[in-house]
């Protein structure tokens, strides 16, 4: 358009800055043009700012073949040049231009016909003006530069020298190994330029310094005011408006050298109404003197950042000052401009919070939703499997500790990870590097890239190692940066396959070794058997060389070279690292046998012995056969154990489809990239049947997703916009567009694989002991062999003894609430009191449920839940005048229950509570009601009375029920020879009743968490190994103190973290199964030790010749067979554990049939608190004992547990929730 000199559009800032001619355009006309293009455009509140114009004078070469008219036309075609006038003598061109768009050095380059190598005619005047001219004009310098090997070297020199103050132009020739530089001598010297080139790693020599380019008189006058450079980086300027100047200090981060200082100075000093700028590299500050009437603080800040948008970060320091420099009145700045200046964007930071207690995606969404709404929070990203949250926040508003407190208030555990390293790591292959300059250029460019923290490039391997912040930059951006420098890049491919887990290569390797050894071993064994059966000697081939030894030698050599190749490789690697393993022992044995046999055979042949020597050529083939067979079977077993991890890794996708969306979410393009190049925030398309490459959130589309291999959910899950998806799950019937939230190692699938790998690499204590023992085994065998050699010399022998001990769990301690019991109260029975009561059962339930719906007490919650279930309704009536009296009950007014009963509306006065509450309100209990309450309390229930309009209407019994499998689990543990103890913080009456229900005779009641630790320690001091079973936070200290801590999977995260064993299901029979499995595992390990050691304990003395006097001799081939049999037997014995299956409930019940019975009070010993003395139960009379045992016998016959509840004769507990197992199917009326 006419009148438009320049326009800059910022997508991030959503604004456009236009430099225009006010004679041809107005702001309104420009706004209309943008609106006509289909965009919404509004004018800024501030008035248009004036644009600084500048003038330069260009000398036209006298011998130029270009006319003045051609020079004018060439210059006017460029943006920023407004006018060009030629002097009358046609020797000078006066150019008017906009300094913010173009500078004078660029204008000189645009003049056609000027050659850097051609100097202007020499000035003959010898006046004082000549000295001024010689300082002001540009000088051409030719330099010899050695050490350049490629175009990257030339670009490095041009970029570095071209940024120096005073250097106007530079051209580096790689072919001529020289540089031509145009500079201003009053700003920089030739020696300084030479030093800067040498600082870049090159060698420079000044070839020729040409005479200055001649300028006109006007040029000389103009250059008289040019300021020389100063150390602190200051530039002076005389603005057109000097009234009311102010000074402001900016903090500038990202400056690395004086070149950065000079760039900022030259750019900002050219702005209108900027009088002076002082830039300090050491203090990282820029002090600007400006006229606030024509330029704002925010414009200055953005102008400094625009010098290098990816490098400089500008902010106002805390001690922000805006000092007025002149006393002249200043015209007020518009209010909107002041507001703009005050809104300085603060630098955000990222913190990582470790979160405990998250169990599902609902927890993730809850945390993200709550935290993201808090002031100062920019973004929140929560990873479920990793248990971490990345929060970007404004440190001026909120701190990480406050964020952690907010998460803790939601019921989760949260700690700030101070030293968390969440940086991304990228490995690239860089092609096209030829020298160290290329390496320097790539590293320096990457370090200038925003978000890159570290870069290292190796020329020898053509690899680059980059560490970056994934919140700021991604791998594709880094690769593009390197490619823009002229180099090729590709990602270093990582092995995502599970081939290293299935051990296929090792299986093929040892199979080949076994078959090669077997081919030559069978003839050797046949020859040996033939010689044993025939008992005859074959003829000699040569004196001292029999046919038998010759054939054995020929068959042994291939086995030694090919069959033992892998053994020799492994042994060499072990010895290289100064360790000795079984491979070293095998190689040592076979090599000694082969070398000894070969040497003794050569000696016999040399001496022409008439008796053939005894050789051991049969030992290497047999030993290699059996050992290779054992290794083959071993790696096949390892492959089986890694099947689960292999399946997980196979779920990972290798590629992802990235899409670009238009403003209306239309699909613009698709690109297939490696999954490791996907960045956070990328839009990924997943087609039906495809795998999700990363974790993300659906933004478009709807489909069913199969997550069974990740979460175990058998049915497909519906995904719609806003739903989260997991990497590795399979899309079924619809295309989805997702926004990537977790990529690379942060995906859920990668975290699961990491957990499984860590679990497989971790070692149990007994496995560590086995590894430690095997580390001493080889040196021990070698030492025994050496000692045996000397022992035979002195006719002696050596014996040794191995002692093995191991401890078993003897005591199992159970927590009560949530472990033995369900942990939540339930309504056991509702009794309707018929006397003086005319209301039906449903009406009473509607009134009671409505009244308790406002209560937060666990008993009230249980009553409300029961009433809703019985009435088959989720909504109840209206409750008013609700009052709670602690320890007694509630009172309220209930209305609008008729919607549930289809009757007229009435208002009821309701009282619900214990005896005390009824007495306070003038209601007396009759003896039959009181007896009914006592009966319930004896059975472990809490009895609650209900009164409506002053009339007692009902009685509700509530209890925390014992788990149905608790009694069976305790009985099975006792049959296994274990002592079972109940430890609880409840009162002694409740603990005694629970113990009688499940058959436990030793109880610790009213025990604090610290007391639980003391009790566990006390049992350990008695020489017992203790297993503690619990689920709550109060159990975690005792779980950590016990020899084996067992946590219920539905318990708290603190308890699970402190435990050694975690039961996934809330089933006490799993405690029995875990102990049974541990016993079988330890038994198998000991059995393996016996198998492995028995061959050596028996075979070594025999091989050493201890029993030689009695005629017992161990042949070498027998030792090889025993060695191989040891390995095979251990592997086969371990594989038998795969056949283990947990006994079913029916099997346990069958074993316990007729043997379980509940305990009487006299059989239960209760210890209260930390006191070590037990509270003995009162002794029953002989008749009571007969009645008790008779009822137990009837119970075993009729399987009716309800009849047993009446034998508990303890005093009722009216102030706490007792636990029982009593339940009536039908309500009873009194």
Q: Which two tokens stand for residue 711?
A: 């979460």
Residue 1224's pLDDT is what?
38
User: Of the given ranges (351-360, 382-391, 404-413, 1050-1059), which has the lowest mean pLDDT?
Assistant: 1050-1059
SS3 annotation, 392-424:
EECCCCCCHHHHHHHHHHCCCEEEECCCCCCCE
Residue 122's pLDDT is what?
34
Exposure string for 511-525, b = 16+ CB within 10 A, e = fewer: bbbbebbbbbbeebe
Element spanning 456, H or E: strand 452-458
Residue 259's pLDDT is what?
65
User: Residue 894, exposed/middle/buried by CB under 10 A (0-12, 13-18, 19+)?
Assistant: buried
**Interatomic CA distance for residues 371 and 1003, integer angstroms:** 45
Exposure string for 246-266, b = 16+ CB within 10 A, e = fewer: bbbbbbbebbeebbbbbbbbb
Residue 664 sits at φ, ψ, to 5 deg, of: -100, 25
Query: Could you tell me which residue, 771 or 193, shows the higher pLDDT?
Result: 193
Region 46-61: mean pLDDT is 69
Residue 644's pLDDT is what?
62
For residue 902, name the pLDDT band (cuts at 50, 70, 90): low
For residue 738, name the pLDDT band (cuts at 50, 70, 90): very high
pLDDT tens digits, 490-500: 887 665 555 55
User: How many other CB atoms are found less than 10 A from the CB of residue 745?
Assistant: 13
Residue 1204's pLDDT is what?
30
Q: Is the pLDDT of residue 85 over 70?
A: yes
User: How many other CB atoms are found less than 10 A from the CB of residue 686?
Assistant: 28
Query: Are residues 665 and 529 located together in one domain of the fold?
Result: no
Q: Is residue 3 part of a domain?
A: no
Query: Are residues 688 and 607 located together in one domain of the fold?
Result: no
Most confident range, picked from 193-207, 1118-1132, 1161-1175? 193-207
Phi-psi region of 872 (alpha: psi -120 to 50; beta: other; left: phi over 0): left
Query: Could you tell me which residue, 232 or 289, shows the higher pLDDT?
Result: 289
What Rg do the C-alpha atoms of the chain give, in angstroms? Answer: 46
Q: Which two tokens stand for residue 988?
A: 């002694």
**Interatomic CA distance for residues 733 and 702, integer angstroms:** 9
Residue 287 sits at φ, ψ, to 5 deg, of: -100, 120
**Interatomic CA distance for residues 91 and 762, integer angstroms:** 86
> Is residue 892 within 8 Å of 879, Cβ to Cβ?
yes
Residue 698's pLDDT is what?
92
> Is residue 673 within 8 Å of 658, Cβ to Cβ?
yes
User: Of the given ranges (358-362, 367-371, 1226-1230), which has the lowest mean pLDDT?
Assistant: 1226-1230
Residue 385's pLDDT is what?
64
Residue 325's pLDDT is what?
39
Domain boundary residue among 291, 312, 342?
A: 342
Q: Is residue 1183 part of a domain?
A: yes
pLDDT tens digits, 127-149: 333 333 333 356 788 888 888 87
All residues at 6 or more sequence positions from 1039 whose CB lies less than 8 Å from its CB, including other chains: 1028, 1030, 1045, 1046, 1047, 1055, 1058, 1059, 1060
pTM, two decimals, is 0.35
**Interatomic CA distance for residues 973 and 965, integer angstroms:** 12
CATH number at residue 1018: 3.40.50.1000
Q: Is residue 217 part of a domain?
A: yes
Q: Is residue 34 part of a domain?
A: no
Region 894-920: mean pLDDT is 79
SS3 60: coil
Query: Are residues 596 and 623 located together in one domain of the fold?
Result: yes
**Interatomic CA distance for residues 1138 and 1135, integer angstroms:** 6
Q: Is residue 676 part of a domain?
A: yes
% of the chain at pLDDT higher than 70: 72
Q: Is residue 993 part of a domain?
A: yes
Query: Are residues 578 and 607 located together in one domain of the fold?
Result: yes
CATH number at residue 440: 3.30.70.100
User: Longest C-alpha distance within the chain, in Å?
Assistant: 142
Residue 569's pLDDT is what?
83
pLDDT tens digits, 1091-1101: 777 767 777 77
Q: Is the pLDDT of residue 1202 over 60?
A: no
Residue 713 sits at φ, ψ, to 5 deg, of: -70, 120
Angle at 258 between CA 256 and CA 259, to 5 degrees: 85
For residue 531, name the pLDDT band (cuts at 50, 70, 90): confident
Query: Are residues 1047 and 1187 located together in one domain of the fold?
Result: yes
Residue 716 sits at φ, ψ, to 5 deg, of: -60, 150
Residue numbers of the domain that contains 152: 115-122+129-227
Total structural domains in the chain? 9
> Is residue 922 within 8 Å of 1180, Cβ to Cβ?
no
Query: Are residues 194 and 243 located together in one domain of the fold?
Result: no
Most confident range, picked from 23-37, 58-72, 600-614, 943-957? 943-957
Residue 655 sits at φ, ψ, to 5 deg, of: -135, 160
Taking CA atoms, 381 is separated from 407, 453, 801, in Å, by 13, 22, 60
Query: Are residues 1136 and 1162 located together in one domain of the fold?
Result: no
Residue 361's pLDDT is what?
67
**In the beta sheet, which residues pair with residue 467?**
425, 454
Q: Is the pLDDT of residue 948 over 80?
A: yes
Catalogue the long-range contacts made by 185-189 (C-beta closer than 8 Å, 24 or more residues apart).
185/135, 185/139, 185/212, 186/135, 186/136, 186/226, 186/228, 187/226, 187/228, 187/229, 188/164, 188/229
**In the beta sheet, which residues pair with residue 830?**
956
**Interatomic CA distance for residues 59 and 120, integer angstroms:** 9
Q: Measured in Å, how far apart are the chain's first and last C-alpha atoms?
A: 99
All residues at 6 or more sequence positions from 398 whose CB lies less than 8 Å from its CB, including other chains: 374, 375, 376, 377
> Is residue 623 within 8 Å of 582, Cβ to Cβ?
no
Residue 499's pLDDT is what?
53
Residue 684's pLDDT is what?
92
Domain boundary residue among 956, 975, 1009?
A: 956
Half-sphere exposure of 468 (CA within 13 A, CB side): 25
Q: What is the dihedral of CA 774, 776, 777, 782, to 10 degrees?
A: 150
Q: Is the pLDDT of residue 406 over 80?
A: yes
For residue 61, name the pLDDT band (cuts at 50, 70, 90): low
User: Of the given ranges (404-418, 888-902, 1104-1118), which has the lowest mean pLDDT?
Assistant: 1104-1118
Query: Could you tell me which residue, 268 or 799, shows the higher pLDDT?
Result: 268
**Interatomic CA distance for residues 467 and 447, integer angstroms:** 10
**Interatomic CA distance for residues 624 and 645, integer angstroms:** 32
Region 229-258: mean pLDDT is 58
**Interatomic CA distance for residues 579 and 570, integer angstroms:** 11
Q: Which two tokens stand for residue 132?
A: 């001024």
**Interatomic CA distance for residues 398 and 374, integer angstroms:** 9
Query: Are residues 553 and 586 located together in one domain of the fold?
Result: yes
Residue 47's pLDDT is what?
64
* Catalytic, out of 293, 815, 1053, 1213: 815
Q: Is residue 779 part of a domain?
A: no
Q: Is the pLDDT of residue 327 over 80?
A: no
Region 992-1019: mean pLDDT is 83
Q: Are strands 1002-1005 and 1165-1168 parallel, antiparallel or unpaired?
A: parallel
For residue 150, name the pLDDT band (cuts at 50, 70, 90): confident
Region 256-267: mean pLDDT is 74
Q: Is the pLDDT of residue 1188 over 50?
A: no
Q: Give the DSSP letter of residue 691.
A: B
**In the beta sheet, which residues pair with residue 912?**
890, 946
**Interatomic CA distance for residues 194 and 196, integer angstroms:** 5
Q: Which two tokens stand for residue 432?
A: 């096209």
**Interatomic CA distance for residues 816 and 994, integer angstroms:** 8
Q: What is the dihedral of CA 778, 782, 783, 789, to 10 degrees?
A: 160
> Is residue 445 within 8 Å of 485, Cβ to Cβ?
yes
Angle at 966 between CA 961 and CA 967, to 5 degrees: 105
Q: Is residue 45 part of a domain?
A: no
Domain boundary residue among 186, 207, 227?
A: 227
Query: Could you tell me which residue, 611 or 877, shows the higher pLDDT?
Result: 877
For residue 362, name the pLDDT band (cuts at 50, 70, 90): low
Active site residue 815: yes
Most confident range, picked from 90-94, 1044-1048, 1097-1101, 1201-1205? 1044-1048
Query: Are residues 1159 and 1192 located together in one domain of the fold?
Result: yes
Region 977-983: mean pLDDT is 88
Query: Are residues 836 and 908 located together in one domain of the fold?
Result: yes
Region 712-725: mean pLDDT is 84
**In the beta sheet, which residues pair with residue 704?**
718
For residue 946, name the pLDDT band (cuts at 50, 70, 90): very high
By C-alpha distance, which of 196, 450, 447, 269 is closest to 261? 269
Query: Could you tell me which residue, 115 or 72, shows the higher pLDDT?
Result: 72
Query: Are residues 133 and 172 located together in one domain of the fold?
Result: yes
Residue 1177 sits at φ, ψ, to 5 deg, of: -80, 150
Q: Is the pLDDT of residue 117 over 50?
A: no
CA–centroid distance for 656 within its chain: 21
User: Of the given ranges (596-610, 959-973, 994-1008, 1213-1227), which has the lowest mean pLDDT?
Assistant: 1213-1227
Residue 686's pLDDT is what?
92
Q: Is the pLDDT of residue 1110 over 70?
A: yes
SS3 4: strand
All residues at 6 or more sequence positions from 386 whose CB lies less than 8 Å from its CB, including other chains: 746, 751
For residue 904, name the pLDDT band (cuts at 50, 70, 90): low
Q: Is the pLDDT of residue 324 over 70?
A: no
Region 897-903: mean pLDDT is 63
**Mean pLDDT estimate for the chain:** 73
User: Of the given ranges (171-180, 824-833, 1107-1116), which has the lowest mean pLDDT?
Assistant: 1107-1116
pLDDT tens digits, 1056-1066: 666 677 777 77
All residues at 6 or more sequence positions from 485 whose CB lies less than 8 Å from its CB, including other chains: 152, 441, 442, 445
| The residue to which tokens 């997703």 are assigned | 705
For residue 1190, name the pLDDT band (cuts at 50, 70, 90): very low
Exposure string for 763-792, b = 16+ CB within 10 A, e = fewer: eeeeeeebeeeeeebbeebeebbeebeebe
Residue 392's pLDDT is what?
84
Query: Are residues 473 and 524 located together in one domain of the fold?
Result: no
């Amino acid at each position: 358009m006419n009148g438009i000199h320049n326009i800059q559009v910022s997508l991030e800032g959503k604004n456009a800055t236009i430099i225009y001619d006010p004679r041809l355009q107005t702001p309104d006309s420009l706004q209309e043009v943008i609106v006509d293009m289909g965009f919404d455009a509004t004018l800024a509140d501030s008035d248009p700012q004036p644009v600084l114009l500048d003038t330069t004078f260009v000398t036209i070469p006298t011998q130029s073949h270009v006319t003045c008219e051609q020079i004018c036309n060439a210059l006017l075609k460029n943006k920023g040049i407004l006018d060009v006038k030629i002097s009358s003598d046609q020797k000078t061109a006066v150019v008017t231009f906009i300094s913010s768009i173009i500078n004078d050095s660029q204008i000189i380059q645009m003049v056609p016909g000027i050659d850097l190598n051609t100097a202007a005619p020499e000035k003959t005047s010898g006046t004082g003006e000549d000295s001024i001219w010689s300082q002001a004009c540009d000088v051409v310098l030719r330099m010899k530069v050695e050490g350049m090997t490629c175009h990257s070297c030339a670009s490095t020199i041009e970029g570095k020298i071209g940024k120096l103050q005073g250097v106007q132009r530079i051209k580096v020739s790689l072919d001529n190994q020289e540089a031509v530089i145009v500079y201003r001598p009053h700003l920089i010297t030739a020696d300084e330029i030479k030093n800067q080139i040498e600082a870049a790693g090159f060698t420079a020599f000044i070839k020729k310094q040409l005479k200055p380019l001649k300028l006109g008189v006007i040029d000389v006058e103009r250059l008289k005011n040019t300021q020389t450079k100063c150390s602190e980086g200051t530039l002076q300027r005389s603005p057109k408006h000097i009234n009311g100047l102010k000074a402001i200090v900016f903090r500038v981060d990202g400056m690395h050298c004086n070149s950065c200082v000079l760039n900022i100075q030259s750019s900002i000093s050219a702005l209108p109404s900027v009088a002076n700028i002082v830039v300090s590299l050491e203090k990282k500050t820029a002090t600007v003197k400006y006229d606030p009437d024509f330029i704002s603080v925010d414009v200055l800040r953005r102008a400094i950042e625009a010098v290098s948008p990816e490098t400089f970060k500008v902010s106002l320091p805390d001690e922000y000052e805006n000092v007025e420099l002149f006393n002249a009145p200043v015209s007020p700045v518009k209010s909107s401009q002041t507001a703009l200046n005050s809104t300085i964007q603060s630098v955000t930071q990222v913190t990582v919070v470790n979160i405990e207690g998250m169990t599902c995606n609902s927890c993730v969404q809850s945390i993200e939703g709550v935290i993201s709404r808090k002031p100062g929070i920019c973004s929140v990203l929560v990873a479920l499997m990793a248990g971490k949250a990345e929060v970007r926040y404004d440190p001026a508003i909120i701190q990480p500790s406050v964020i952690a407190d907010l998460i803790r208030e939601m019921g989760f555990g949260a700690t700030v990870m101070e030293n968390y390293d969440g940086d991304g790591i990228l490995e690239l292959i860089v092609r096209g590097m030829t020298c160290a300059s290329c390496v320097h250029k790539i590293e320096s460019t990457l370090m200038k890239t925003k978000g890159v923290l570290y870069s290292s490039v190796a020329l020898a391997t053509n690899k680059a190692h980059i560490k970056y912040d994934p919140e700021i930059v991604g791998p594709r951006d880094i690769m593009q940066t390197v490619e823009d420098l002229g180099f090729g890049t590709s990602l270093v491919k990582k092995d995502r396959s599970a081939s290293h887990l299935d051990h296929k290569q090792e299986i093929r390797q040892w199979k080949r070794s076994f078959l090669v050894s077997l081919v030559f071993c069978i003839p050797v064994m046949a020859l040996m058997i033939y010689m044993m059966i025939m008992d005859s000697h074959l003829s000699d081939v040569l004196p001292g060389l029999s046919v038998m030894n010759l054939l054995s030698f020929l068959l042994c050599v291939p086995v030694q070279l090919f069959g033992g190749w892998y053994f020799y490789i492994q042994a060499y690697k072990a010895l290289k690292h100064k360790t000795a393993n079984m491979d070293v022992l095998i190689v040592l044995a076979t090599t000694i046998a082969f070398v000894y046999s070969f040497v003794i055979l050569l000696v016999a042949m040399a001496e022409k012995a008439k008796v053939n020597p005894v050789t051991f050529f049969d030992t290497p083939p047999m030993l290699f056969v059996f050992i290779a067979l054992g290794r083959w079977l071993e790696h096949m077993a390892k492959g089986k154990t890694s099947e689960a991890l292999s399946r997980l890794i196979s779920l990972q996708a290798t590629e992802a489809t990235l899409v670009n969306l238009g403003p209306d979410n239309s699909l613009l393009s698709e690109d297939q990239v490696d999954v490791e190049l996907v960045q956070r925030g990328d839009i990924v398309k997943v087609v039906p049947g495809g795998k999700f490459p990363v974790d993300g959130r659906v933004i478009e589309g709807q489909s069913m997703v199969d997550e069974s291999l990740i979460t175990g959910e058998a049915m497909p899950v519906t995904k719609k916009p806003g739903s989260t998806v997991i990497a590795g799950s399979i899309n079924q019937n619809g295309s989805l567009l997702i926004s990537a939230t977790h990529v690379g190692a942060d995906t859920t699938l990668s975290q699961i694989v990491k957990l499984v790998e860590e679990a497989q690499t971790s070692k149990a204590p007994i496995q560590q002991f086995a590894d430690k023992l095997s580390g001493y085994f080889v040196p021990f065998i070698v030492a025994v062999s050496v000692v045996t050699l000397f022992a035979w010399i002195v006719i002696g022998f050596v014996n040794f003894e191995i002692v093995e001990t191991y401890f078993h769990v003897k005591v199992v301690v159970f927590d009560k609430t949530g472990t033995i019991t369900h942990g939540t109260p339930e309504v056991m029975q509702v009794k309707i009191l018929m006397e003086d009561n005319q209301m039906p059962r449903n009406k009473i339930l509607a009134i009671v449920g409505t009244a308790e719906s406002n209560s937060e007490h666990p008993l009230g919650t249980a009553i409300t839940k029961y009433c809703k279930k019985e009435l088959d309704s989720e909504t109840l009536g209206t409750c008013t005048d609700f009052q709670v009296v602690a320890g007694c009950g509630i009172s309220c007014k209930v209305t609008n229950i008729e919607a549930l009963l289809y009757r007229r509306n009435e208002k009821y006065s309701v009282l619900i509570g214990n005896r005390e509450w009824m007495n306070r309100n003038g209601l007396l209990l009759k003896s039959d009601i009181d007896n009914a309450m006592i009966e319930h309390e004896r059975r472990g229930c809490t009895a609650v009375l209900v009164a409506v309009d002053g009339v007692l209407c009902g009685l509700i019994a509530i209890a925390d029920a014992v788990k149905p499998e608790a009694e069976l689990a305790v009985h099975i543990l006792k049959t296994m020879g274990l002592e079972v103890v109940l430890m609880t913080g409840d009162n002694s009456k409740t603990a005694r009743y629970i113990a009688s229900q499940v058959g436990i005779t030793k109880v610790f009641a009213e025990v604090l968490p610290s007391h639980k630790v003391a009790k566990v320690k006390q049992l350990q001091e008695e020489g017992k190994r203790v297993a503690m079973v619990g689920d709550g936070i109060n159990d975690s200290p005792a779980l950590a103190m016990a020899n084996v801590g067992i946590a219920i999977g539905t318990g708290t995260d603190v308890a699970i973290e402190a435990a050694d064993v975690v039961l996934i299901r809330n089933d006490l029979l799993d405690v029995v199964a875990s102990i049974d499995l541990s016993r079988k595992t330890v038994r198998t390990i000991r059995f393996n030790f016996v198998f492995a050691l028995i061959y050596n304990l028996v075979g070594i003395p025999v091989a050493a010749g201890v029993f030689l006097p009695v005629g017992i001799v161990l042949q070498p081939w027998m030792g090889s067979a025993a060695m191989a049999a040891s390995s095979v037997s251990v592997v086969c014995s371990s594989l038998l554990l795969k056949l283990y299956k947990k006994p079913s409930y029916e099997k346990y019940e069958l074993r316990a049939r007729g043997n379980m019975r509940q305990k009487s009070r006299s059989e239960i010993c209760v210890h209260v608190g930390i006191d070590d003395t037990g509270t003995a139960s009162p002794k029953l009379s002989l008749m009571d004992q007969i009645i008790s045992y008779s009822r137990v016998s009837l119970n075993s016959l009729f399987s009716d547990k309800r009849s047993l509840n009446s034998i508990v004769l303890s005093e009722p507990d009216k102030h706490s929730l007792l636990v029982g197992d009593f339940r009536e199917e039908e309500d009873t009326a009194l």
